[in-house]
Structure 1
Amino acid sequence: MNHALSRWPGRLAAMVPDRPVDIAVIGAGNRSSTTYQGLFQSLRPWVNVVAVCDPVKEHADRYADAVDAHAFHDLTDLVKADLVEAALVIAPIDVHHAISVTLSRTGIHHLVETSISSTLWQARDMAQTADEHGVKFRVGENFIRFHFDRIAKEIDKTGFIGPIGRVLCVHDHPGYHNNSRWLVLYGAHPETVQAVSHRMSVEPHWEAPHRYHEDEGFRCHFFRFPDNRLVTDLAGNLKGMLGRYPRPGYTELAGTRGTIARAAMEHRHGAGEVRWCSDDALRNGARHDHVFPIEHVVEDGQWICDRVELPIGPVEFRNPNQLAVSHPRAHSLSSVVSHVTDFANEVRGSDHCEFTPADAVMSMEMEVGCRESALRNGEEIPLPLADLNIEAERRVWDELRVRHGVDPHDAEAMMSIMIARP
């Protein structure tokens, strides 16, 4: 393992393995084609795509031709070919569990897209099966790697605003992604969860040609972390329709003498700032008397860094995962590159892991706990969940059983189901 820059002159470099990992891409639908396929040039030092597998022959063949790899239309045939060390699973969530345990049982390391699974039982089984077979199993959570979270973590490390005891997040992305963000921010797992939900009728409207709405949901999640830390995470209409606040919404990280904040702007990544109270302000009303803007630096279609000038000195997060080509969504795509490079490095022996299997499962514990709490009218529920014989799990299980005609916890039965992603 090394940090060599020679392959990419003039660019920042993340840790580079001694040789790329031979991988299969499992799933050649829209997400895989529009996000991952274009990143493999940037990922050449870390991964070498040698196979593509998708149940839709047209998808697999087209993708394989584009990346110069072997095409497979059945996971069993891919495994028997013995071509790969690892796999990127970019398939429908319904089959994440079946694919994951199949790969673990055959000794293939794998990185699964979010969300980890459909049920908490599946998530726990995925992590346990990988551990039993000595397989590196990771979940590709990119939200923890977005630029605001990166610079906020660096600011928090300085202690400038004091310990962050409370988070308020409005209209961003409640659910698995945001759950993961709070785990990483606090470096701990929550102790309890509470949630309420609401749905109301709205004027019929079209979000897109294939998305028609007559009602609108809303949910509010509360997570209590150790050391008296609280997260309040709420949202309804995430796309900003009907005049609702647009993503990334508004976020406050509340410290003991200041706040790190971000608000939505015309551009998707929003604008951040640090608000701080001097000693004089603390003695006279405690209105913040200093504001330090966070600068999001993009040059020639590359996310370079995020930085802020504070009285204690500059604080900066520099992006170690720049792209091989410029892109208008560089800040989000670099986050995807980041979780793939981390995974490849772990396969090659690195012990650095930003988002462990235990974290990935806990994010699902939080999500299922929220569903169950909402069904119980906001009851506070301890985490991790002691009993999976709960209504929230049963409802998802029943829905999947009706949809696919087999037990969704039976990996072999689910592997027989062809689920195509558009």
Structure 2
Amino acid sequence: MILKEPLNIALIGTGFRSRTVYRLLFPALHERGVRLVAVCDPVRESADSFAASLNVPAFYSIRDLVRARPMEAALVCTPVELFHAISCYLSAQGIHHLVEAGFCASLAQARSMIATATANNVTLAVGEQFFRLAYERFAKRVADTGVIGPVNRIISTFSHTGTHNNACWIKFFDTHPDSAQAVSHTMPTAPHRSLAHRLHTDESFHANFFTFPGAAPDATPQARFVADMTSNAKAVLGRHARPGHIQYEGSRGTIVVRAAGFWNGPYHQAEGEVRYCSDRALETNGIADIVYPIVFSQENEFLRKLHVDLPTGRVEYLNPFYHPVDSAVDAIDYYHAATAELIVEFAQTVRGETTLEYSMDDAYMVQMMNAAARESLVQHGVKLALPLAEELESQAQLHAALKAKTGVDPLDVEGMLDYAAPRA
């Protein structure tokens, strides 16, 4: 993954995610032709310290950055309520960009972002890394061997509900869902912090259910099913750690991926196996009698590769950004590797060297899945057909809440550019 022609980029937003995820990546990205040439953040201290750490200039206004234009493209890593305004502004200026993580707040904003980028011949990408994580890539490759028969159901607990997992299901089945349903429950908890700046006094459980059409050529409606649920994705209060427990259920076996133990560090520590029913097992008790272990190879606690040896041959995933290091501090683990991968792919798309694996149609459908789940909750768990045919009450409520929070119409580009979003 090396660009034939390097691409200069600017980073917009130097907050928590940029400091904990992006800063580590830029040296590896530079080796592949993606060159950071500027950062931009209205908080001068944050912009200056980030810029100094990578020896690039700092800007404090997106308008000043665009006027100077040291870059051809931008990575937008700000609070999500700013994505729409920044995206539309950059598109109008002819600047390719990637927003990450997530898309935007509403379907109306998503449509506006896509339309503005298209009208200005700009590459817009939504940074989604979770379907690129090692165990997600790996599960898809194992399923595609056909060893356990067609995988028509996925049960996911204590991973993610919402944008990240919705993208995983779309990429696993290589199609878009045809229905959505959701339930939730919220209970009070002891006051606790998941991060220094995040205080919680309650906890919500979410369960999202999606159906997908069957595989081509028949594409039978609602032939495949996903149940996706969690009460806490970060193992707070003793809950199960990510990636939780995920079962990809085939007609004669199961791919299992689960957290290796209690949350005590990077959540990439996982284990799993492929459970297979022989003909004899199918004829007797139906219990899987052959287990193929998934081998996770790590160095300095960071993933190097994983593999499983099946009757059809070895299935393997290699960390594309792995390199030997003396310290885990210098390693790019597979979460960071997935993020670096999507940035390089975005740059290659700008250069015309490839196309986005996670298309804007995919990103918009994920946004619609989120909207449908929210609407299902408003309607007390009703099952909704996808794609949605009309605007939803829950979307109107969402826009009203955004306006109440910011004091600005969520579709007002200039107004939202001047909004000072609180730090995440």
TM-score higher than 0.5: yes
Paired amino acid for 1:290: I
| Residues 88-107 of structure 1 aligned to structure 2 (within 5 Å) | 88-107=75-94
1:67-100 CA-partner distances (Å, limit 9, x unpaired): 2222111111111112211001011101000001
Paired amino acid for 1:66: S
Runs of 5+ unmatched residues, structure 1: 1-13
Secondary structure of the 1:160 match is coil
Report the counterpart of residue 144 of structure 2 in structure 1.
157
Report the counterpart of residue 282 of structure 1 in structure 2.
282
CA pair 354-376 structure 1, distance change in 2 beyond 3 A: same
CA pair 234-302 structure 1, distance change in 2 beyond 3 A: closer
Decide which of 374, 377, 384 is 2:387's aligned counterpart. Answer: 384
Distance 1:208 1:52 in 2: 25
Distance 1:200 1:414 in 2: 34
Paired amino acid for 1:294: I
Q: 2:72 aligned with 1:119, yes or no?
A: no
Report the counterpart of residue 81 of structure 1 in structure 2.
68
Distance 1:301 1:205 in 2: 28
Question: Displacement of 1:121 after TM fit?
Answer: 1.1
Secondary structure of the 1:263 match is strand
Runs of 5+ unmatched residues, structure 2: 215-222
Question: Displacement of 1:128 after TM fit?
Answer: 2.0
Q: CA RMSD in A?
A: 1.8
Distance 1:104 1:400 in 2: 23
Contact kept in structure 2, 1:29 and 1:420, CA below 8 Å: no
CA pair 149-414 structure 1, distance change in 2 beyond 3 A: same
Report the counterpart of residue 352 of structure 1 in structure 2.
355
Contact kept in structure 1, 2:157 and 2:245, CA below 8 Å: yes
Report the counterpart of residue 241 of structure 1 in structure 2.
236
Decide which of 188, 198, 201 is 1:214's aligned counterpart. Answer: 201
CA pair 262-33 structure 1, distance change in 2 beyond 3 A: same
Report the counterpart of residue 407 of structure 1 in structure 2.
409
Report the counterpart of residue 291 of structure 1 in structure 2.
291
Contact kept in structure 1, 2:12 and 2:77, CA below 8 Å: yes
Report which stretch shifted further, 24-33 or 207-216.
207-216
Report the counterpart of residue 51 of structure 2 in structure 1.
64
| Residues 183-262 of structure 1 aligned to structure 2 (within 5 Å) | 183-227=170-214, 228-262=223-257
Report which stretch shifted further, 361-370 or 67-76.
67-76
Secondary structure of the 1:196 match is strand
Question: Displacement of 1:102 after TM fit?
Answer: 0.7
Report the counterpart of residue 258 of structure 2 in structure 1.
263
Decide which of 129, 142, 147 is 2:129's aligned counterpart. Answer: 142
Provide TM-score, normalisation by structure 2: 0.92
Paired amino acid for 1:153: K
Secondary structure of the 1:42 match is helix
Report the counterpart of residue 10 of structure 1 in structure 2.
none
Q: 2:320 aligned with 1:320, yes or no?
A: yes
CA pair 216-300 structure 1, distance change in 2 beyond 3 A: closer
Paired amino acid for 1:296: F
Larger relative contact order, structure 1 or 2 (CA cutoff 8 Å, min sep 6): 1
Report which stretch shifted further, 344-353 or 406-415.
344-353
Question: Displacement of 1:401 after TM fit?
Answer: 0.6
Secondary structure of the 2:175 match is coil
Report the counterpart of residue 11 of structure 1 in structure 2.
none
Paired amino acid for 2:305: C
Paired amino acid for 1:37: R
Report which stretch shifted further, 356-365 or 292-301.
292-301
Provide TM-score, normalisation by structure 1: 0.92
Distance 1:173 1:56 in 2: 31
Distance 1:324 1:101 in 2: 41
Paired amino acid for 2:315: V
Question: Displacement of 1:207 after TM fit?
Answer: 4.2
Secondary structure of the 2:208 match is strand
Distance 1:241 1:21 in 2: 40
| Identical columns (%) | 41
Paired amino acid for 1:299: E
1:191-225 CA-partner distances (Å, limit 9, x unpaired): 11011111123344454554443322111111110
Secondary structure of the 1:233 match is strand
Report which stretch shifted further, 346-355 or 228-237.
346-355
